[in-house]
Amino acid sequence: MGVKTDTRQRMITSAALLLREKGVAGTSIAEVLRHSRGPRGSVGFHFPGGRAELLTDALGWAGGLVTTILREAASQGTRPDEVFAGICDHYEHQLATSEFAAGCPVGAAAQEAYGDAALGPVISSIIDDWHTGLTAVLTRSGHDPDAATDLAMVCISALEGAISMSRVKRSTAPIRTVRDRIVPMLAAPT
């Protein structure tokens, strides 16, 4: 029996980390191999679909982390203001500690590859999952379902825009502003 390695997951993680910093165009197989310290032959073995499969899996993994947080928050009845503030705080920390290099891998890919035949549908599905998850958190806290649907879209759109603005301005002020303005709107209706 062969030795089990974590090469595949290391490559997926590396690709996601590179996507958040360099976008789709800057995330090459060579960069992923260097970052993950993976052997050259591992690409064909673990990702027979090549770069497209690797990036698809990386986006799915990264997007799935947020989707899982949202599903758990909905099932546990976590308040939507706490959920959104926590996600904002996460990105604020990531940007501040990476000299504004580490944005959102899904958002970065959406800017570049929304029309890509392989990546576009994956990005769309992730955004749909986030939207559904945040809508469920809002609905469970007492928001009207139609209003929750709209509010979830506002949250996602505002935060993704704030992440981009924070990177450009090299300041976390846009994320803080979005958090401070949107969190009060997420409180359970009275």
Q: Where are the alpha helices (DSSP H) in 39-172?
A: 42-46, 50-76, 80-97, 105-113, 119-140, 145-169
State the pLDDT at residue 38. 81
| 154 has a pLDDT exceeding 80 | yes
Domains of the chain (ranges, CATH numbers): 58-186 (1.10.357.10)
State the pLDDT at residue 5. 62
State the pLDDT at residue 3. 44
Please give the Cα distance from 58 to 144 (Å, whole number): 34
State the pLDDT at residue 173. 98
Give, for 130, the enclosing helix (H) or strand (E).
helix 119-140
What predicted TM-score, i.e. pTM, was given to this entire model? 0.91
Per-residue pLDDT of 47-85, as tens digits, reads 888 899 999 999 999 999 999 999 999 999 999 999 999
Give, for 125, the enclosing helix (H) or strand (E).
helix 119-140
State the pLDDT at residue 44. 76
